[in-house]
Amino acid sequence: MTLDMGLAPMALSATTFNAGDKVRVTVDFKYTVEADATVHLYVAPYYTNILGKHLVDSCVGRSDVTLPATATPLDKTATVDFTLVPKAQSGIEDGTYGLAVWVRTSVSTSDPWSIPRPSAVDNQDSVLLVSGNPSSGGIGDTLTSIMPMLMMVMMMGMIMPMMQGMGGGSEE
């Protein structure tokens, strides 16, 4: 009797973070390279809609990783940090996000799904649960949203009596 087993990477479990938290991501990989090299490790949360995956640009993190030359595949573990910049600072909104980590040999602002493709990429959907942004709908937000309408009403209130006055003069 034989026991036939297959090993597959475990899916990451969803974890809740607060806006403003700093997150450290660990990646494992094997590599070969003819000469010592430095690669750039990127990380960012992403969201998905009908147009595909989109990075939250304000939360991209990067670290540089040195790879000593090796002709045979060598195991490597590396880490990269990123900050969940709060929405109030043009950052991330509360919600559920995927986590993407990718490797490029040159510095680039392109996302990992664009051409030129990165040397390696891993992304997992719905593993970042972001909360803790200040709730919207406070007195400040309400005032901000109705301010244009208030201004228009006030202007109308000033203009209408003036127009009525002009109309009266022309009848004489």
Partner 1 sequence: MKTLELNLGVIKPLQAESSSYIRGWYLDPQTGQSVYFDPDTQNFYTMQGGIYLPQGYMNTTPKQVPVTIGDKLKITISYQYSGPAITGALERFCIGVFGTFGFNETLVGEITRNLPASSTLQPYTDSYTFTIPNNVGSDWDDIYCKIYGGSPGVPQTIFGYENALIIAGLTPTVTGFTISDFVKV
Contact residues: partner 1, CB under 8 A? 9, 12, 15, 17, 21-37, 39, 67, 69, 73, 77, 81, 99, 101, 103, 105, 119-122, 124, 127
Our CB check for partner 1 shows the closer of 71 and 166 to be 71
Residue with smaller CB distance to partner 1, 14 or 58: 14
> Which residue's CB is nearer to partner 1, number 29 or number 56?
29
CA 146 to chain CA centroid, nearest Å: 30
CA pair distance 119, 101, nearest whole angstrom: 11
Shortest Cβ 21–partner 1 spacing (Å): 5
Sign of CA dihedral 84, 86, 87, 89: negative
Q: At its nearest, how many Å lie between partner 1 and the CB of residue 6? A: 15
What's the CA dihedral at 96, 135, 18, 86 to 10 degrees?
A: 90
Minimal distance, residue 66 CB to partner 1, in Å: 11
DSSP single-letter state for residue 88: G
C-beta of 139: minimal distance to partner 1 in Å?
32
Q: Which is nearer to partner 1, 14 or 87 (CB)?
A: 14
Query: What span, in angstroms and rounded, lies between the C-alpha atoms of 137 and 81?
Result: 32
Q: Which is nearer to partner 1, 24 or 153 (CB)?
A: 24
CA atoms within 13 Å, Cβ hemisphere of 98: 15
Least distance (Å) from partner 1 to the CB of residue 103? Answer: 6
Measured CA to CA, the distance from residue 32 to residue 67 in angstroms comes to 9
Q: d(Cα 155, Cα 162) in Å, to the nearest integer?
A: 11
